[in-house]
């Protein structure tokens, strides 16, 4: 737990470093933080608008952001970068949960190397400090992965329901989470059918009336009973129960979305653009899809897609995983299964790819390689390889954090924050705010911070100017 606490503090620091001066405050972030600043009765019942058409399948993203506003906002005067800190805390908590679970399966050095590699990916560092739904979905997928890997052979219904709920909340946050959520649901249902023996011992009666515990039994000639395979009917019943349980969880979580649809039946729903693109495809190209998935995911992890190609290494690792961990369907689901699912979904895709779509598969790829190392029969070798990998990741950490500035850094936020704070103290009402510095994005709301701090925009009031560095003038 001490290692987990230190890891959490480290990744939070990496993700929130200088966030008050470089937070990305563009149109989408302003829109979503304005919603978080409202009351709970005003929260949407659907997700954020989607590039795939319609809106997200549920309100998980907005509700998490609203909770973060109340937990973090008071420490930042409710300024927008509080939303970035919220997302960073959620991502870091998810990475820590994954670390704790993995440390029970592999040596702690290898678990640390895997989780630190995921958390220190340049794209992940940068997007985890932004108000945006893809990193929220990625965080929930990591939590669902940790829950799924900790279920064990005989999980309770509550743990299964919790795993299904977190996985589906990730889908509500961003549709790309289905790459991992769908294999998790499939593994939850398939596990009872794949078990060779029952989880709890049953009793058998031997000659002399002595009873002893034994696994599921079958009766041979002569009345002698021996351990055997679980009956298909028993496994089928259990699988049907879990399918019903998972389906019930999804239906309950979709109640807000259903209410929204009943209120606005003409509003666009679901990933209409993506469905139309796939439905109208003229061919299926699995090889192209697989290359796009693995190279897009690896680029988010190492930011060197032009140098390294990952088709064959991932394929080799997946084969080793399938052989070594063939009796662990849940592990296969959250690693190889996610890559297979993404490949299948994009097999008919003909449009350009957005890199952030693969943010939810980065954990799956790292698990694929990490658990391939863990498949080595010599545990000492696994420990030493894990230690070496951890040293390499730690040495590369500063440069990877530096690369993160290439993505979502917006230094003009500092100028707007300082200038708006001065204006709110100087003039409670203004007619207009004009910016006199370079780099201001056209979607940035120049009044947003000023209004949060109590300022008002009124006709007849003075005009204010914000200069480079945050200097202000009121005329």
3-state secondary structure labels for all residues of the chain: CHHHHHHHHHHHHHHHCCHHHHCCCCHHHHHHHHHHCCCHHHCCCCCCECCCCCECCCCHHHHHHHHHHHHHHHHCCCCCHHHHHHHHHHHHHHHHHHHHHHCCCCCHHHHHHHHHHHHCCHHHHHHCCCCCHHHHHHHHHHHHHHHHHCCCCCCCHHHHHHHHHHHHHHHHHCHHHHHHHHHHHHHHHHHHHHCCCCCCCEEEECCCCCEEEECCEEECHHHCEEECCCCHHHHHHHHHHHHHHHHHHHHHHCHHHHHHHHHCCCCCCCCHHHHHHHHCCCCCCHHHHHHHHHHHHHHHHHCCCCCCCCHHHHHHHHHHHHHHCCCCHHHHHHCHHHHHHHHHHCCCCCCCCCHHHHHHHHHHHHHHHHHHHHCCCCHHHHHHHHHHHHHHHHHHHHHHHHHHHHCCCCCHHHHHHHHHHHHHHHCCEECEEEEECCCCCCCCCCCHHHHHCCCEECCCCCEEEEEHHHCEEEC
pLDDT of amino acid 111:
96
* Every domain of the chain and the residues it spans: 2-196+237-278+376-406, 412-474
Which residues of the chain fall below pLDDT 50?
197-230
pLDDT of amino acid 285:
85
Task: Record the pTM.
Answer: 0.89
């Amino acid at each position: 737990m001490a290692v987990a606490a230190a890891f959490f503090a480290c990744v939070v620091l990496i993700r929130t470093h200088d966030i008050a001066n470089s937070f990305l405050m563009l149109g989408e972030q302003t829109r979503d933080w304005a919603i978080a600043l409202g009351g709970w009765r005003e929260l949407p019942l659907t997700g954020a608008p989607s590039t795939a058409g319609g809106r997200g399948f549920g309100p998980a993203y907005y509700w998490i952001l609203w909770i973060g506003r109340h937990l973090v906002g008071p420490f930042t005067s409710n300024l927008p970068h509080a939303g970035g800190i919220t997302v960073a805390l959620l991502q870091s908590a998810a990475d820590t949960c994954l670390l704790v679970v993995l440390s029970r399966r592999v040596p702690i050095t290898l678990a640390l190397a895997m989780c630190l590699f995921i958390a220190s990916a340049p794209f992940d560092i940068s997007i985890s400090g932004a108000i945006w739904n893809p990193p929220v979905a990625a965080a929930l997928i990591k939590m669902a992965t940790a829950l799924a890997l900790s279920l064990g052979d005989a999980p309770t219904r509550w743990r299964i329901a919790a795993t299904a709920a977190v996985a589906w909340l990730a889908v509500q946050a961003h549709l790309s989470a289905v790459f991992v959520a769908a294999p998790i649901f499939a593994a939850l249902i398939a596990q009872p059918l794949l078990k060779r023996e029952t989880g709890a011992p049953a009793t058998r009666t031997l000659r002399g009336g002595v009873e002893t515990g034994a696994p599921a039994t079958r009766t041979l000639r002569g009345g002698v009973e021996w351990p055997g395979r679980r009956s298909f009917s028993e496994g089928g019943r259990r699988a049907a129960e879990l399918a019903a349980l998972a389906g019930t969880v999804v239906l309950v979580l979709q109640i807000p979305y259903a209410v929204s649809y009943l209120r606005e039946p003409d509003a666009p729903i679901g990933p209409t653009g993506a469905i139309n693109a796939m439905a109208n495809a003229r061919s299926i190209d699995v090889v192209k899809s697989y290359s796009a998935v693995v190279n897009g995911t690896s680029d988010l992890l190492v930011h060197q897609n032009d140098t390294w190609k990952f088709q064959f290494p991932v394929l080799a690792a997946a084969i080793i995983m399938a052989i070594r961990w063939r009796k662990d369907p849940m592990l296969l689901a959250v690693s190889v299964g996610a890559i297979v699912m993404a490949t299948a979904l994009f097999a008919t895709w003909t449009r350009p790819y957005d890199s952030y779509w693969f943010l939810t598969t980065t954990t799956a790829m790292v698990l694929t390689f990490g658990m391939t190392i863990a498949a080595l029969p010599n545990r000492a070798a696994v420990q030493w390889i894990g230690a070496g990998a951890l040293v390499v990741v730690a040495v590369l950490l500063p440069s990877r954090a530096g690369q993160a500035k290439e993505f979502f850094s917006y230094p003009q936020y500092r100028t707007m924050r300082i200038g708006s704070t001065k204006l709110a103290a100087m003039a409670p009402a203004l007619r207009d705010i004009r910016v006199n510095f370079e780099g201001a994005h056209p979607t940035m709301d120049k009044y947003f911070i000023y209004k949060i701090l109590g300022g008002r925009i009124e006709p007849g009031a003075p005009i204010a100017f914000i200069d480079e560095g945050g200097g202000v003038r009121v005329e």
